[in-house]
Amino acid sequence: MKYRFFSAPAMVCLLVALALGALTLGPFMRETDQARFLDSGLAIAKGHPQLGFAEFNFDKQFVSYYLAALVNRCVPRPLVTDTLIYATNTFSFAFFWGALWLLLARSAHRLSFAVALSLLLTPAFLMYSPFYASAFTSAALVFLLATHLARLKWNPLSRAGIFLLAFLAVGARADALLVMPLLAMLHSPRRNFSSAFYAPNTWLLATGGLTAFIFGRVMFPIFSADVAVGTLHLKQFLGYLVFGLGATGLLLLAGLHAAFKARQLEPRRVWILFLGIALALPMGYYSFQMLSPRHCVAGAMATAVFMCARRGRALMQSYFRIRFSGGGLKIIFVGVAVIPLLVGLNLADLHHPKISFLQRTLLPSAAGVAPAGGFLGFLLSVKQLNGYLDHNQAVWVAARDTKFKADATGTVPLIWTPMESYLKFSIRLQNEVPHVYHLTSEEALLLPPVIYSESRTLMRLQFSWPVEVGNYFFARYNFVPTTSANWHGITLLRCVTNAPDLGDFSSAAFWALSQSFGPDEFRLERTSALKQISPDWAGKKVTLVSKGEMRVKSTLAKTGRTICAGSFGCWHLIEFVSVRAGDIIDPSLSTDKIYVGVGALPAWMSLKKD
């Protein structure tokens, strides 16, 4: 089978990749795992791989960690941090889109343009591929493996390539193992189960993938759970699925329906039954533990492999032919792929959703915020905002700009938070050694007099730590910013036991705002922003706190109360449950300093149990 590099699917892939890269590539951080890869890659490149072995999921992603180290070794010295981040992002991006381009070029014959366009505009690909992640290094290797399996002639060297690519794909991210049954069924010598089972390539796929999986467990025995138990929430799942898969989700359903229809026509075809199961397997695995739209990459990857394989294309062609509305389905695929690029949903009020070009709601996830549609506007904002899409880039820039100081033990003390990987990476770049303390009821009394923390976690303290432990931390330490980098209150703090509790980062004010927001995350804003409520605040809770009595003018419904605690004194609170864009809150008649907290998310996403 020949490569068709100038076919419509391949050329559109190239154009999408070039446009996406121009809009988004830069020295930007998107999630904490990215910092873990860079941190461990730095340690491996310096000849200290043991420092990376304990990192998150190293046993399941060791190839991705070593690829980050390889990029590190190729970056010119002296090492510039932003250059390193830019290089790893670019490598992952080019590797993924280059492999997908090769797959489409190899499979372009009789591949529907509507199908190819739907795959290329998968939201999870667009939103996350510009940032280094194991999902994309592994997907690139799977695409190369699928391209390699499409060959018609085999020799010992080409068969060895199957084992190697399967090993690397699963070693880059273990969930690639879920795609191996699909590849085996699609590329069996004949369309029957026994042929697939006894084919040499099937056993090479199985042994290559399982060898990588077992190798990671044996060589790197510090491993985390394979399944995130108790994380299934219906609204979260549906939101991530719709805005992660997009039109590719419809393609996946169409592929499963095509297999079902073919099975009805030929009920003895066990091969078709297992093909359908294999196609559903990757997405089925993540359906019960979907923590981010990026988890849809596995399902989209399986769909791409299926649609680009000769047998998958033949099955879909028959499906489109026998369906009365086959042409209409293709139009629907293109529409569902293209329309969300331009328009999104404004869900400030869940009961009154609005179609919006600019004010799309950002959904929280484990891999950074994800837009509810309007993907093109979101991508255009990446460089306009210098990567400040959410708290991730803010925490990283603050950590990067901080000059960390070791204590008497020769290490840099820091509090464990979900953002700790940014701090550890910055500390190691400064040739210092981080020492992580956990804020638990047992260890709280052992904390040193000076310790570092990022402020983002302190703005959702009751979500991260037990209330009594968090209150102890606020009572013991006062906060001193280490840098001028400050994005809506997110910065790096030196937590000191004997510093005055003054300025914009009063620990007592943090405590008071935490009492108002509970487990919900908030941001610190200037009082000047209250003169006219920004559209970005629409539907969010706003709380004003002050040591003195407040006199506030506003037409919005509000409640006032006073809270007191021995070590914090008494604080006055005025709470606005949900504000509207354009409204005015005027606290100008108040004399004492006012701290303003704004919910990071719309009020309907609150975790508080009333």
Q: What is the pLDDT of residues 516-562, one digit of tens each?
A: 999 999 999 999 999 899 999 999 999 999 998 898 888 888 999 99
Torsion of CA 245, 250, 256, 260, to 10 degrees: 160
SS3 content of the chain, % helix, strand, coil (to 5): 55, 10, 35
pTM of the model: 0.94
DSSP state of 173: -
**Residue 324 C-alpha from the chain's centroid:** 39
Q: How confident is the model at residue 350 (pLDDT cuts 50, 70, 90)?
A: confident
**Mean pLDDT, residues 29-33:** 94
Q: Which helix (H) or strand (E) holds 239?
A: helix 234-245
Indicate if the pLDDT at residue 326 is higher than 80: no
Tell me what percent of the residues of the chain surpass a pLDDT of 90. 68
Q: Quote the pLDDT of residue 107.
A: 86
- pLDDT value at residue 269: 81
pLDDT band at 225 (very low <50, low <70, confident <90, very high): low
**CA angle 507-508-514, nearest 5°?**
90
Q: Give the residue-averaged pLDDT of 109-130.
A: 93
The whole-number pLDDT of residue 500 equals 79
Mean pLDDT of 367-390: 94
- By CB atoms closer than 10 A (0-12, 13-18, 19+), residue 261 is middle
pLDDT at 232 over 70: no
Is the per-residue pLDDT at 223 higher than 70? no
Instruction: State the pLDDT confidence band at 364, using cuts at 50, 70 and 90.
Output: very high
- Residue 268 has a pLDDT of 60
Higher pLDDT, 386 or 289: 386
Residue 414: what residue type? Answer: L
For residue 230, the model assigns a pLDDT of 56
- How many angstroms from the chain centroid is the CA of residue 608? 24
What angle do helix axes 234-245 and 247-265 make, rounded to 10 degrees? Answer: 90
CA 20 – CA 245 distance, rounded (Å): 17
How does residue 212 score in pLDDT terms, banded at 50, 70 and 90? very high
CB atoms within 10 A of CB 458: 27
How many residues belong to the chain? Answer: 610
Q: What percent of the chain has pLDDT over 70?
A: 96
What number is the average pLDDT over the span 326-352?
A: 90
End-to-end CA distance of the chain: 63
Cβ contact 199:189 at 8 Å: yes
Question: DSSP labels for 273-298?
Answer: HHHHHHHHHHHHHHHTS--SGGGHHH
Judge whether 602 and 539 are in contact, CB under 8 Å: yes
Cis peptide bond N-terminal to 78, omega within 30: yes
Beta carbons of 19 and 12 less than 8 angstroms apart: no
* Angle in degrees, CA 302, 307, 313, rounded to 5: 145
Nearest in space to 348 (alpha carbons), one of 335, 360, 330:
360
Q: β-strands 450-454, 492-496: how paired?
A: antiparallel
The whole-number pLDDT of residue 590 equals 76
**Distance separating alpha carbons of residues 576 and 554, to the nearest angstrom:** 10
pLDDT(329) > 60: yes
Spatial CA neighbour of 379 closest among 36, 121, 135, 581: 121
Question: What token pair was written down for 332?
Answer: 């629907």
Lowest mean pLDDT, pick from 213-227, 299-313, 559-573: 213-227
What's the pLDDT score for residue 610?
A: 57
Q: What are the CA-CA distances from residue 606 to residues 462, 463, 601 (Å)? A: 13, 11, 8
Helix extents (H) in 401-494: 420-429, 455-458, 461-464, 467-476
* pLDDT per residue as tens digits for the range 575-604: 999 999 889 999 877 778 999 999 999 999
Please state whether 515 falls in left (phi above 0), alpha (psi between -120 and 50) or beta.
alpha
Per the model's pLDDT, the better-predicted residue between 56 and 402 turns out to be 402
Distance CA 368, CA 600 (A): 13
pLDDT of residue 84: 97
Strands 492-496 and 478-481 turn out to be antiparallel
Burial class for 500, CB neighbours closer than 10 Å (0-12, 13-18, 19+): exposed
In this predicted structure, what is the pLDDT of residue 441? 75
Q: How much is the average pLDDT of 111-133?
A: 95
Least confident of 21-35, 132-146, 488-502: 488-502
Q: What is the mean pLDDT of residues 1-18?
A: 88
The larger pLDDT score, comparing residue 359 to residue 104, is at: 104
- What's the token pair of residue 126? 């667009």
What are the pLDDT digits (tens) for 97-111?
A: 999 999 999 987 778
Q: Which residue bears the tokens 């970056």?
A: 75
C-alpha to C-alpha distance for 84 and 42, rounded to whole angstroms:
10
Contacts of 474 (CB under 8 A, 6+ apart): 461, 507, 508, 510, 511, 514, 568
| Average pLDDT over the chain, rounded to an integer | 91
pLDDT at residue 344, rounded to an integer? 95
The residue assigned the tokens 């009805």 is 264
CB 597 within 8 A of CB 513: yes
Q: Is the pLDDT of residue 324 over 60?
A: no
